[in-house]
């Protein structure tokens, strides 16, 4: 039978690949199917056909895998978020460790034995410290179903966020309905309400609520303030306005309506260190606070600082990793392109009495060329696209004895480790860290040494 788009086939799923899709085979061709677990036998409809593989959409679950479990959330299947709820947490960790090892071998051309056992999450539910939900023109407030960009579903429960965060969403939904405030329509550019962002200090109990609107008169600003200002759990209340004109750069303006300008969080590391961090509304901070403490502990362990080193901290965000290294280093130099993050990093250094840390604003690839510091250790925590060959070459040119690489993408990590190997930096270990239970995402920490 000639395979064509729309043809329905039966596939036995063998494993999950990075990105969350299952892979099986049909008549010698690899077939990728979403929303399946290893061991499932499914009927799937082909959606894309290439020379040596095909992609297909799940039509029917013919035989369930013994690994498949009942999802916890009632929005599962509609929400595009935590799509691995149908796997036990133990199986999730095993799959993620295998995927990191697979990338290291197939893309990085390195020994799979370099990959260490994954560091699991002790609390695989209610771990997120940040939530962003959207308003739509049907007066709903929630998340986008997979494949949808304009209409959301009303989020009534979520087991990745705290009960407080879900409660705040419910209050805002009723607030919108009570005052009949129109949501922003991206096609007509009419309406006001865009998003609601909630940030939470897991170790401090503080909570920041940010209402994002388009330009226009917010007639019910005082009522919005009243809705939250008497709740002692809400320590910061912001109103952010998005200025968006076709053909011109989009920019935002923030107005603090009530409480503190920053959210304070405390991180505790396994070596007994404790630091306080002030987080501004736009500043990046690891989404899983408790697991970030384990991640940073691993980074500091691998950095192996003795007190004499100059440490270069690239893509440093609010300075968390560099500041934790400061007491065991001679000097910390951080680079970050997010202006609020750099502001937070500098403030966090002052807040914690750290005087040997300097943070520069700018894109890493632009700043490295004129940097006067000569680092002994380089720590990098780039976005999903990784470093790329240009930045790897620039980092290697410093001649640092060690590079510690924090990655949220096994594929680009493996590619960059191969670049480092070509420049005389050899990988000693790669440790997966599960920062995002119930999803396919996985963090890793790798260390490469010169010569």
Residues 296 and 318 sit within 8 Å (Cβ to Cβ): no
Angle between helices 163-179 and 221-229 (to 10 degrees): 150
Q: CA–CA separation, 160 vs 200, rounded Å?
A: 13
Q: CA–CA separation, 110 vs 426, rounded Å?
A: 10
- How far is CA 162 from each of CA 126, 144, 166, 176, 334, rounded to the nearest angstrom? 5, 19, 7, 22, 32
Q: How many CA atoms lie within 13 A of 63 on its CB side?
A: 8
Q: CA–CA separation, 147 vs 150, rounded Å?
A: 10
Name the nearest CA neighbour of 46 among 78, 19, 11.
11
DSSP 114-160: GBPPPB--S--SS-BSEEEEEE-TTS-EEEPBTT-SS--EE----SS
> What three-state secondary structure class fits 235?
strand
Q: CA–CA separation, 83 vs 264, rounded Å?
A: 31
Give the pair of three-digit tokens for residue 17.
Answer: 């690949």
Name the nearest CA neighbour of 197 among 143, 158, 247.
143
> What three-state secondary structure class fits 90?
helix
Q: CA–CA separation, 250 vs 449, rounded Å?
A: 42
Q: CA–CA separation, 236 vs 45, rounded Å?
A: 49
> What three-state secondary structure class fits 354?
coil
Q: Which of 79, 93, 325, 408 is the catalytic position? A: 408
- Is 408 considered catalytic here? yes
In 227-293, which ranges are E strands?
234-243, 251-259, 263-268, 274-279
Name the nearest CA neighbour of 371 among 383, 359, 353.
359
Residues 6 or more apart whose CB falls under 8 angstroms from that of 196 comprise 132, 133, 134, 135, 141, 168, 169, 172, 209, 210, 211, 212
> What three-state secondary structure class fits 42?
strand
Identify the bridge partners of residue 296 per DSSP, sorted by sequence position: none
> What three-state secondary structure class fits 286?
coil
Name the nearest CA neighbour of 402 among 264, 327, 301, 273.
301
Which residues are known catalytic residues? 408
């Amino acid at each position: 039978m000639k395979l064509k788009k729309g043809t329905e086939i039966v596939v036995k799923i063998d494993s999950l690949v990075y990105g969350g899709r299952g892979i099986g085979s049909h008549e010698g061709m690899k077939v990728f199917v979403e929303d399946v677990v290893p061991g499932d036998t499914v009927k799937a409809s082909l959606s894309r056909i290439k020379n040596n593989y095909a992609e297909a959409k799940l039509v029917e679950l013919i035989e369930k895998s013994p690994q498949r479990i009942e999802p916890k959330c009632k929005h599962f299947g509609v929400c595009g978020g935590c799509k691995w709820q149908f796997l036990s947490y133990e199986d999730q960790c095993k799959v993620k460790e295998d995927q990191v090892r697979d990338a290291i071998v197939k893309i990085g051309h390195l020994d799979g034995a370099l990959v260490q056992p994954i560091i699991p999450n002790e609390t695989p539910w209610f771990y997120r410290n940040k939530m962003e939900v959207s308003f739509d023109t049907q007066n709903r407030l929630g998340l986008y179903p997979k494949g949808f960009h304009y209409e959301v579903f009303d989020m009534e429960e979520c087991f990745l966020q705290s009960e407080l965060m879900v409660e705040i969403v419910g209050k805002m939904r009723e607030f919108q309905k009570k005052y009949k405030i129109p949501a922003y329509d991206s096609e007509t550019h009419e309406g006001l309400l865009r998003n609601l962002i909630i940030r939470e200090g897991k170790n401090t109990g503080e909570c920041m609520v940010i209402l994002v609107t388009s330009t226009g008169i917010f007639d019910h600003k005082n009522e919005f303030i009243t809705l939250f200002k008497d709740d002692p759990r809400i320590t910061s209340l912001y109103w952010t306005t998005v200025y968006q004109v076709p053909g011109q750069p989009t920019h935002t303006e923030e107005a603090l309506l009530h409480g503190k300008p920053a959210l304070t969080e405390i991180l505790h590391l396994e070596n007994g260190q404790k630091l306080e961090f002030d987080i501004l509304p736009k500043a990046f901070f690891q989404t899983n606070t408790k697991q970030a403490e384990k991640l940073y502990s691993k980074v500091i362990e691998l950095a192996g600082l003795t007190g004499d080193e100059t440490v270069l901290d690239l893509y440093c965000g609010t300075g968390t990793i560099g500041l934790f290294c400061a007491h065991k280093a001679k000097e910390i130099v951080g680079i970050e392109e997010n202006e609020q993050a750099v502001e937070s990093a500098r403030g966090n250094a002052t807040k914690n009495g750290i005087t040997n840390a300097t943070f520069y604003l700018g894109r890493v690839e632009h700043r490295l060329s004129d940097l006067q510091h000569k680092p002994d250790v380089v720590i990098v925590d780039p976005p999903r696209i990784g470093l790329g060959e240009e930045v790897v070459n620039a980092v290697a040119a410093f001649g640092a004895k060690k590079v510690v690489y924090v990655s949220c993408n096994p594929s680009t990590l493996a590619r960059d480790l191969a670049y480092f190997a070509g420049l005389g930096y050899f990988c000693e270990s790669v440790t997966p860290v599960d920062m995002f239970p119930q999803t396919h995402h996985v963090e890793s920490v790798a260390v490469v040494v010169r010569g």
